[in-house]
């Protein structure tokens, strides 16, 4: 057993037992971040803050929400929105944050792709990040079921139907997932459990893994420069902060993060109070009705691109394309054969690949919401084919990339 | 400056995506109609000047079916019996003169199915008579008599500024549409009951009424509690002005509210479906001010810390 002395202060008392000084040094004041970064490097903190907003608002909503098919809709739209003090505020924060968190995730992902931050030892950062994306997607989908409106019900119907795997006709699997032949009480209960317990636990675990994965390879920088962190840290500690290529996580990096966060929060709360409709589909303000299919069924905007990869093909081909779209991003670090871990602008054909992928996904997103008719359907088909094609050519164009 | 360029690129792609999934997608998915300001241009104008005192005698033609409570005429039947007879409970006319448009009222009295735009449902040639019969003049100037009745109804109604959103809604919409969040049923406000028997009796009446109504309309008209969020103000306004716009062949009649009353009906839907909107505006303002101040301090802190780093 360690030797304990009579503490001189509360700080000392805690330090002897929890090593708080060491923790602070390792996690904050001597956790080194490159200096050559732009505001896109703050998206991690923006995501952490948004997740905190989701968690806190979710806890408040949980106190009044009723996971019952007869009560759920009214508990959200009447009890929470109109009776509970500031219930409307928590709901709008929750709804808007659920949508905005995906915007930030996509910005964060494309930042990683642009700067090659998934290469040279940073593969696990990318993979854990993709796992987080999947977990957030499941969290968003399960949460969307809870108000038990028309879109909850029919999106639940359509998406769980995918698990019949088209021609395989695994209807038993669909029933097992739903706990019933159609989305009903058992379905609502299990998605409630997933939304408030299992998936949030997974998300928190994955966030820890994602942070942990950063530790050894360190954060990338704007020019993909390889930095000798120990040498640069030594300069910093010796007082040569200006020459050093690194900064401390606290307060240096944190102060820049908080500046970005503060500007982000102005945008966020503007949406919460004045422009929340985009995040809360009008159709979902009609109570669920299993006898009345809405004219248009579409997922929330952040799923539209993969929905559009599913839609233009026949059932089986569509499902295969959809499955491809779901897993292919995980493989990015291995499909990119180039040794260059530098910004896309310095990477030959990959530069064009990056912008083509970004624009293609935006086109898919736009077409995914529109009715699959006429010109929109054709554009969607070609955009989906382009998406698949871009991934197929990726290993070839990167293999022949010149070393910089 | 490089950061601003990056911000511009991120903002650009975000806005393009937003445009595609919101304004553009909705413009492609939904029909759009503009309001005519409740002018009811298809109906001929009233040419005669009405005389309320003559109209007072002529309304005897109305009170066989309608109550006019302010004038002391009780409805001849209770709501359920009326619905059993007519399909829907005819409205009490106390405030009809203020809720409904003057020109519309005159045309309604002359030819109900035409003014209500339900001629596809009620074709006398096929023996489908509208439950409200056309007005048969007692003398030989029908136009004048109709104008007199309208003048009388306008004279007994409350003034426009005394008409509350709730009153407007109940007269114009409330006999077909329930509003659960406003405690409103098709047979009136649901009272608090001391005895379970009374409550069950009320609910039995309501269910009977709803059955007759559903038979009359083809389906039970929806509860409107959340319509302000599910349909939005513009849709509701242009829908009540002419339901055939969006739903060709719908059994819902054009109810003929005046522009001012339409505003009040929508106000009532906001009161029941978005009752915290005023609080949202107030709190929003304070939160935005707080966030701006927070941002100023955050920027100052960053500048302070990074002074040593550059």
State pLDDT tens for residues A302-322.
999 999 999 999 999 999 999
Burial class (CB in 10 A: 0-12, 13-18, 19+), B56: middle
- DSSP for A333-358 reads HHH------S-GGGSTHHHHHHHHHH
Interface test with A, best of B3, B291, B307 (most A CBs within 10 A): B291
For residue B216, pLDDT over 80 is answered with yes
For residue B223, pLDDT over 90 is answered with yes
Partner B contacted by A238 (CB < 8 A): no
Please answer yes or no on whether A273 and B230 come within 8 Å at the CB atom: no
Is B280 contained in some domain? no
Exposure letters B253-280 (e unless 16+ CB within 10 A, then b): bbbbbbeebbbbbbbbbbbbbbbbeeeb
* Judgement on whether residues B47 and B147 belong to the same structural domain of the protein: yes
For residue A1, pLDDT over 70 is answered with no
CA distance B307 to B291: 24
Q: What number is the average pLDDT over the span A267-280?
A: 97
* Judgement on whether residues B72 and B160 belong to the same structural domain of the protein: yes
Q: Give the one of A241, A261, A370 whose C-beta lies nearest to B28's C-beta.
A: A370
CB atoms within 10 A of CB A216: 10
Separation of CA A141 from chain center: 12
CA distance B153 to B102: 10
Q: How confident is the model at residue B1 (pLDDT cuts 50, 70, 90)?
A: confident
Is B118 contained in some domain? yes
Instruction: Break chain B down into helix, strand, coil percent, rounded to 5.
Output: 55, 5, 40
CA distance A139 to A134: 9
Q: What number is the average pLDDT over the span A206-227?
A: 95
Mapping DSSP to helix (H, G, I), strand (E, B) and coil, where does residue B225 land? coil
Residue with tokens 């009161």: B271
For residue A177, pLDDT over 80 is answered with yes
* Judgement on whether residues B291 and B162 belong to the same structural domain of the protein: no
Interface of A with B in 296-325 (CB under 8 A): 296, 301, 304
pLDDT (tens digit per residue) in B274-297 = 999 999 999 999 999 999 999 999
- The domain total for chain B is 3
Q: What number is the average pLDDT over the span B148-159?
A: 97
Please answer yes or no on whether B6 and A40 come within 8 Å at the CB atom: yes
Predicted pLDDT of residue A166: 84
Q: What number is the average pLDDT over the span A1-20?
A: 93
* Judgement on whether residues B180 and B75 belong to the same structural domain of the protein: yes
CA distance B165 to A132: 49
Predicted pLDDT of residue B125: 87
Distances (CA, A) of A324 to A298, A309, A327, A376: 20, 9, 6, 22
Partner B contacted by A270 (CB < 8 A): yes
Q: How confident is the model at residue A167 (pLDDT cuts 50, 70, 90)?
A: confident
Predicted pLDDT of residue A373: 87
Predicted pLDDT of residue A396: 97
* Judgement on whether residues B165 and B293 belong to the same structural domain of the protein: no
Predicted pLDDT of residue A120: 87
Please answer yes or no on whether A251 and B305 come within 8 Å at the CB atom: yes
Look at strands A246-248 and A32-34 and give their pairing.
antiparallel
Residues 6+ apart with CB under 8 A from A295: B29
In chain A, what residues touch B275 (CB-CB under 8 Å)?
82
Distances (CA, A) of B297 to A45, A267, A275, B300: 18, 17, 26, 5
* Judgement on whether residues B115 and B264 belong to the same structural domain of the protein: yes
Q: What number is the average pLDDT over the span A123-147?
A: 98
Percent residues over pLDDT 90 in chain A: 96
Residue A114's closest chain B neighbor by CA? Answer: B6
pLDDT (tens digit per residue) in A326-379 = 999 999 999 999 999 999 999 999 999 999 999 999 999 999 999 988 899 999
Minimal Cα–Cα distance from A361 to chain B, Å? 10
Please answer yes or no on whether B21 and A366 come within 8 Å at the CB atom: yes
* Judgement on whether residues B4 and B137 belong to the same structural domain of the protein: no
In chain B, what residues touch A81 (CB-CB under 8 Å)?
276
* Judgement on whether residues B18 and B144 belong to the same structural domain of the protein: no
* Judgement on whether residues B35 and B21 belong to the same structural domain of the protein: no
Predicted pLDDT of residue B151: 97
Interface test with B, best of A28, A29, A88, A148 (most B CBs within 10 A): A88
Residues 6+ apart with CB under 8 A from B276: A81, A82, A88
Is B45 contained in some domain? yes
Is B86 contained in some domain? yes
Predicted pLDDT of residue A140: 98
Taken in order of first residue, the domains within chain A and their CATH numbers are: 17-297 (1.20.810.10), 310-404 (no CATH)
Please answer yes or no on whether A365 and B279 come within 8 Å at the CB atom: no
Distances (CA, A) of B216 to A242, B172, B256: 82, 18, 20
CA distance A21 to A14: 9
Please answer yes or no on whether B284 and A304 come within 8 Å at the CB atom: no
Which sign, positive or negative, has the C-alpha torsion A263, A267, A272, A273?
positive
In chain B, what residues touch A258 (CB-CB under 8 Å)?
298, 301-302
Q: What number is the average pLDDT over the span A266-283?
A: 96
Q: Give the one of B13, B24, B276 whose C-beta lies nearest to A82's C-beta.
A: B276
Are the CB atoms for B225 and B180 separated by under 8 Å?
yes
Q: Give the one of B3, B181, B232 whose C-beta lies nearest to A39's C-beta.
A: B3
* Structural domain containing residue B10: 1-30
For residue A155, pLDDT over 70 is answered with yes
In chain A, what residues touch B6 (CB-CB under 8 Å)?
38-40
* Judgement on whether residues B307 and B167 belong to the same structural domain of the protein: no
For residue B310, pLDDT over 90 is answered with no
Interface of A with B in 175-234 (CB under 8 A): none
Is B94 contained in some domain? yes
For residue B139, pLDDT over 70 is answered with yes
CA distance B239 to B262: 11
| DSSP designation for A278 | G
* Judgement on whether residues B174 and B269 belong to the same structural domain of the protein: yes
* Judgement on whether residues B219 and B168 belong to the same structural domain of the protein: yes
Are the CB atoms for A248 and A30 separated by under 8 Å?
yes
Partner B contacted by A2 (CB < 8 A): no
Is B101 contained in some domain? yes
Q: How confident is the model at residue B132 (pLDDT cuts 50, 70, 90)?
A: very high
Interface test with B, best of A363, A369, A371, A373 (most B CBs within 10 A): A369
Minimal Cα–Cα distance from B288 to chain A, Å? 7
Q: What number is the average pLDDT over the span B123-139?
A: 89
pLDDT (tens digit per residue) in B80-127 = 999 999 999 999 999 999 999 999 999 999 999 999 999 999 988 888
Predicted pLDDT of residue A368: 96
Is B132 contained in some domain? yes
Is B160 contained in some domain? yes
For residue B11 the two structure tokens come to 């903002």
Partner B contacted by A290 (CB < 8 A): no
Percent residues over pLDDT 90 in chain B: 93
In chain A, what residues touch B279 (CB-CB under 8 Å)?
88
Partner B contacted by A273 (CB < 8 A): yes
For residue A359 the two structure tokens come to 């624009």
Q: Give CA torsion, residues A302, A304, A305, A311, to 10 deg.
A: 160
At residue A247, φ and ψ (nearest 5 deg) are -130, 160
């Amino acid at each position: 057993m360690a030797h304990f002395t009579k503490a001189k202060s509360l700080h000392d008392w805690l330090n002897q037992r929890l090593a708080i000084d060491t923790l602070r040094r390792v996690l904050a004041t001597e956790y080194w971040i490159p200096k050559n970064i732009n505001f896109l490097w703050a998206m991690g903190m923006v995501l952490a803050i948004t997740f905190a907003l989701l968690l806190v608002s979710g806890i408040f909503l949980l106190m009044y929400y009723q996971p019952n098919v007869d009560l759920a809709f009214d508990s959200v739209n009447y009890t929470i929105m109109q009776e509970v003090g500031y219930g409307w505020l928590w709901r709008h924060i929750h709804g808007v944050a659920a949508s905005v968190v995906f915007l930030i995730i996509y910005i964060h992902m494309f930042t990683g792709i642009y700067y090659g931050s998934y290469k040279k030892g940073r593969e696990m950062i990318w993979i854990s990040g993709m796992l987080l994306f999947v977990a957030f997607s499941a969290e968003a989908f399960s949460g969307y079921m809870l108000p038990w409106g028309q879109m909850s019900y029919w999106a639940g119907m359509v998406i769980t139907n995918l698990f019949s795997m088209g021609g395989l006709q695994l209807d038993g699997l669909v029933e097992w997932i739903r706990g019933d032949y159609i989305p009903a009480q058992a379905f609502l209960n299990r998605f409630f459990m997933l939304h408030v317990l299992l998936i949030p636990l997974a998300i928190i675990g994955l966030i820890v893994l994602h942070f942990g994965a950063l530790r050894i390879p360190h954060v990338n920088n704007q020019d993909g420069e390889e930095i000798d962190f120990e040498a640069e840290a030594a300069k910093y500690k010796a007082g040569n902060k200006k020459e050093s290529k690194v900064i401390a996580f606290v307060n240096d990096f944190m102060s820049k993060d908080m500046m970005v966060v503060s500007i982000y929060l102005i945008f966020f709360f503007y949406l919460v109070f004045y422009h929340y409709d985009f995040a809360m589909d009008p159709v979902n303000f009609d109570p669920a009705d299993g006898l009345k299919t809405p004219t248009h069924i579409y997922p929330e905007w952040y799923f539209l691109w993969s929905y559009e990869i599913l839609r233009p093909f026949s059932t089986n081909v569509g499902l295969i394309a959809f499955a491809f779209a779901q897993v292919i991003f995980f493989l990015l670090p291995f499909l990119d054969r180039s040794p260059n871990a530098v910004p896309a602008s310095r990477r030959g054909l990959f530069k064009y690949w990056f912008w083509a992928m970004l624009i293609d996904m935006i086109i898919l997103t736009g077409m995914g919401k529109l009715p699959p008719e006429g010109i929109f359907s054709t554009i969607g088909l070609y955009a989906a084919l382009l998406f698949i094609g871009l991934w197929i050519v990726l290993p070839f164009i990167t293999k022949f990339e010149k070393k910089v | 400056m490089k950061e601003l360029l990056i911000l511009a690129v991120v903002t650009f792609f975000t806005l393009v995506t937003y445009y595609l999934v919101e304004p553009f997608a909705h413009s492609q998915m939904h029909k759009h109609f503009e309001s005519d300001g409740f002018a009811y241009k298809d109906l001929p104008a009233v040419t005669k000047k009405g005389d309320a005192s003559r109209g007072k005698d002529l309304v005897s033609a109305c009170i066989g079916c309608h109550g006019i409570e302010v004038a002391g005429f009780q409805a001849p039947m209770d709501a359920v019996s009326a619905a059993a007879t007519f399909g829907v409970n005819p409205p009490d006319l106390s405030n009809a003169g203020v809720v409904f448009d003057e020109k519309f009222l005159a045309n309604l009295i002359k030819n109900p199915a035409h003014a209500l735009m339900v001629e596809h449902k009620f074709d006398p040639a096929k023996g489908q008579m509208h439950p409200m019969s056309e007005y048969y003049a007692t003398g030989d100037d029908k136009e004048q008599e109709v104008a007199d009745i309208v003048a009388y109804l306008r004279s007994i109604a409350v003034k426009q500024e005394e008409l509350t959103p709730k009153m407007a809604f109940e007269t114009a919409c409330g006999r077909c549409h329930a509003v659960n969040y406003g405690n409103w049923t098709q047979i009136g406000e649901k009272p608090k009951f001391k005895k379970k028997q009374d409550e069950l009796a009320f609910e039995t009446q309501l269910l009977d009424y709803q059955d007759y109504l559903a038979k009359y309309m083809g389906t039970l008209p929806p509860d409107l509690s959340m319509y302000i969020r599910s349909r939005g103000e513009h849709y509701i306004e242009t829908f009540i002005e002419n339901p055939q716009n969006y739903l060709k062949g719908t059994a819902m009649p054009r109810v003929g509210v005046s522009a001012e009353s339409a505003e009040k009906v929508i106000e009532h839907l906001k009161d029941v479906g978005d009752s915290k909107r005023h609080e949202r505006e107030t709190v929003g303002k304070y939160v935005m001010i707080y966030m701006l101040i927070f941002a100023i301090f955050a920027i100052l802190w960053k500048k302070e810390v990074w002074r040593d780093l550059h």
